[in-house]
Amino acid sequence: MIEVRVNGIFITQTQASGIILKEQSGERALPIVIGEYEAQSIALALEHLNPPRPITHDLMANILRMLDLSLDSVIITELKDNTYYAIIRLRRDVEIIEIDARPSDAIALAVRLDSSIYVKEQVMDEASYIPEDKDDIQKSFLFKSETNEKNLNALKKQLKEAVEKEDYEKAARLRDEIKRLESGS
């Protein structure tokens, strides 16, 4: 298995959302198209933004904590008919419990609980790519540091306020503007 990290969130030309997983000890990147809600959930966790009320993935993380279960890891196990499959590995003492999950939900949970994410070698071999230029992945990032800091900080503050007010449509527009600024477009 290959350990990966969430390296970016992207929007396709058809406005579908996705994430890029990059292997920790290598150059390969694995793009996975996911739902908009899951992309927003992962983005909130990556930015350490907490909505005033728990969203689904926060609720799942809270339930695990209350039941004294830890998220051991998430594994992207298979790619079949253009659909990715994953499992969530929960740990209670020495017992491991594996639960079938969509990769987007599993990753949203892993990001919240700071857990390892793995991709089976066969999936990486089948669906990953090596960027021609190291900046290729950077161009897809939703989160990138080389920006106009003053405007970016103001937008991030507005994004946080929109999330706190549960105005997710405004939050999505602000997220897109932050993305545009961060990508230098």
Query: Could you tell me which CATH number the domain at 2-143 has?
Result: 3.10.690.10
pLDDT confidence of residue 181: 67
Which residues are CB-neighbours of 158 under 8 A, at least 6 positions away? 174
pLDDT confidence of residue 140: 45
Element (H, E) at 24: none
Residue 172 predicted with pLDDT over 60: yes
pLDDT confidence of residue 184: 57
CA distance 140 to 31: 10
pLDDT confidence of residue 135: 52
Q: What are 107's two structure tokens?
A: 């990753």
